[in-house]
Amino acid sequence: MEKLKIPYPVIVEGKYDRQRLQSVIEAQIITTDGFGIFKKTERAALVRALAQRSRIIVLTDSDGAGGVIRSHISGLVPKDRLIQLYIPKIPGRERRKPAPSAEGTLGVEAMDTETLQRLFLPYADRGVAETMVQNPLSKTDFYIDGLSGGPESARRRDELAAKLGLPPGLSANALLAAVRLLCPYEKYLKLVGREGKEQN
């Protein structure tokens, strides 16, 4: 079945949640790294910056930890900028885990495709996909433009972030997700000085 194109950034807890959603939707998916969002100020700043330009979808596990993370995110941005999605509480254990979670319920990564499609369908873009879905910007671009993999990459990322009104200190992956959402590819090429040059 064709993936749903979602014109809003989606926030989930971890990489396995992101991988699961990537099989169902086309969207910019950002992870909190579990409770990492409490410690990583740049991740919280990124969420605030994205919320100024777009509504944000929040989808966490239905257990206590997921509720705490969801509450924290809700405190970072205005309520009218959040789209709160909830998975059902289903007893079980994720396949990759040797034991059930503390509350014995399945998380986002274990949700079936039908459930996830039903959650996201009301927010799907049924017409032309938004910039973040169409944008071909990739990790290869970041490497070519010195934004990752080099001794000056962190400084270059901070310079690009400043041009886009984003916070400094973002990792390459976090900045890539934000730029794909906020900046058309042609504008990105201009910002990094590659406009008009031969593209690899």
Q: The tokens of 17 are what?
A: 């949640």
Return the sign of the alpha-carbon dihedral for residues 176, 181, 183, 186: positive
Q: What is the mean pLDDT of residues 76-88?
A: 91
- Whether 137 has a pLDDT exceeding 70, the answer reads yes
Q: Is the same domain home to 37 and 98?
A: yes
Is the pLDDT score of 131 beyond 50? no
* Mean pLDDT, range 113-130, rounded to an integer: 78
Same domain as 85, residue 9: yes
pLDDT for the residue numbered 134: 62
Q: Give SS3 for 17.
A: helix
Banded model confidence at residue 126, pLDDT cuts 50, 70, 90: low
What CATH number has the domain bearing residue 41?
Answer: 3.40.1360.10
- Cβ atoms of 7 and 132 closer than 8 Å: yes
Is pLDDT above 80 for 165?
no
List of E strands, 37-196: 56-60, 82-86
* Same structural domain, 23 and 87: yes
Taking residues 72-84, what's their average pLDDT?
92
Both 8 and 105 in one domain: the answer is yes
- Mean pLDDT, all residues of the chain: 85
Inter-residue contact 81 to 58 (CB < 8 Å): no
- pLDDT bin (cut points 50, 70, 90) of residue 183 is confident
pLDDT band at 130 (very low <50, low <70, confident <90, very high): very low
Range 28-49 average pLDDT: 86
Q: Are 47 and 92 in contact (CB under 8 A)?
A: no
The pLDDT value recorded for residue 180 is: 79
Please check whether residues 179 and 85 belong to one and the same domain: no
- What is the rounded CA–CA span in Å between residue 137 and residue 182? 11
Q: Is the pLDDT of residue 95 over 80?
A: no
C-alpha dihedral, 9 to 15 to 19 to 25, nearest 10°? -10
Total count of domains within the chain: 2
Tell me what pLDDT residue 129 has. 44
Q: How confident is the model at residue 37 (pLDDT cuts 50, 70, 90)?
A: confident
Tokens, residue 121: 């369908």
- DSSP one-letter code for 78: -
- Predicted confidence at residue 41, as pLDDT, reads 80
What share of the chain has pLDDT > 70, as a percent? 90
d(CA 115, CA 194): 43
Domain-terminating residue out of 68, 101, 123: 123
Asked if 107 and 175 sit in the same domain, the reply is no
